[in-house]
A and B are shown apart, each in its own frame.
Chain A
Amino acid sequence: EDQVTQSPEALRLQEGESSSLNCSYTVSGLRGLFWYRQDPGKGPEFLFTLYSAGEEKEKERLKATLTKKESFLHITAPKPEDSATYLCAVQPQGGLGFKTIFGAGTRLFVKA
């Protein structure tokens, strides 16, 4: 069964304290892996798409990387405004082709 597991469930950082969020996945062929940010009371906001092992994407203080079994979202020198829930999602190959499976998310708290 296709599965996405994110860790940790919650992460508390001091402003400027860099860290990484993990997303491990089990799918029968990966079409794409997505990262989203979700603020309280809002819908998820798209951040990155990764397609193949070794690929990296960057946006401001965020960098996403992908291996054959997991993805990491690295946060460099975070600021309080980076506080949010970060969701990982995978799109398996085959089947009807568009069944994106979301992980439970990592809640990030950045303290000033």
Chain B
Amino acid sequence: DAGVIQSPRHEVTEMGQEVTLRCKPISGHDYLFWYRQTMMRGLELLIYFNNNVPIDDSGMPEDRFSAKMPNASFSTLKIQPSEPRDSAVYFCASTRGRDSGYTFGSGTRLTVV
């Protein structure tokens, strides 16, 4: 298995633009998570899905952030409009069952200028 695949690896965008981050989880994993990592706040859970259904989005910072999982093999995290304070590394992770460790992707480093 190729692991959790995220794209793009790096994204530089101007303030106000729409940004879409993409994730392909490991086949057979029924949970998918979006995390954000910064030096100041560490790893923060934004949202997670179980069987493609959003379960908890309380970590989404504001309405500018949205996430979808149209099928078991694809998820997106969208920021519209983007702001400089959104600059961070965004990780997608997946797992099978509630008691397993997560498999993380390599992340998308987002820079909003």
Interface contact A46-B55, CB-CB below 8 Å: no
Taking the nearest CB of chain B, how far is it from the CB of A111, in angstroms? Answer: 24
Interface contact A96-B107, CB-CB below 8 Å: no
Q: Which residue of A lies closest to B92 (CB)?
A: A43
Binary contact readout B78-104 vs A (1 if CB under 8 angstroms, 0 otherwise):
000000000000010100001111111
Taking the nearest CB of chain B, how far is it from the CB of A51, in angstroms? Answer: 8
Interface of B is mostly: strand
Q: How far is the CA of A44 from the CA of B107 in the complex (A)?
A: 10
Q: Which residue of B lies closest to A43 (CB)?
A: B104
Interface contact B55-A98, CB-CB below 8 Å: yes
Q: Of the 9-residue stretches B11-19, B40-48, B69-77, which lies at the interface with chain A? A: B40-48
Q: Does B105 contact A (CB under 8 A)?
A: yes
Interface contact B98-A44, CB-CB below 8 Å: no
Q: How far is the CA of A48 from the CA of B99 in the complex (A)?
A: 11
Taking the nearest CB of chain A, how far is it from the CB of B6, in angstroms? Answer: 8
Interchain CB contact (< 8 A) of A100 among B45, B55, B103, B105: B45
A35-76 interface (Cβ within 8 A of B):
36, 41-49
Interface contact A49-B99, CB-CB below 8 Å: yes
Q: How far is the CA of A103 from the CA of B55 in the complex (A)?
A: 23
Interchain CB contact (< 8 A) of B101 among A49, A96, A99, A105: A49
By a CB distance below 8 angstroms, the chain B residues around A105 are: 42
Taking the nearest CB of chain B, how far is it from the CB of A59, in angstroms? Answer: 12
Interface residues of B (CB under 8 A from A): 4, 31, 33, 42-43, 45, 48, 50, 55-56, 91, 93, 98-107
Q: What 11 additional pairs, Cβ within 8 angstroms, besides A43-B106, A98-B98?
A: A34-B102, A41-B107, A43-B105, A46-B103, A49-B99, A49-B100, A49-B101, A89-B43, A99-B45, A100-B33, A100-B45
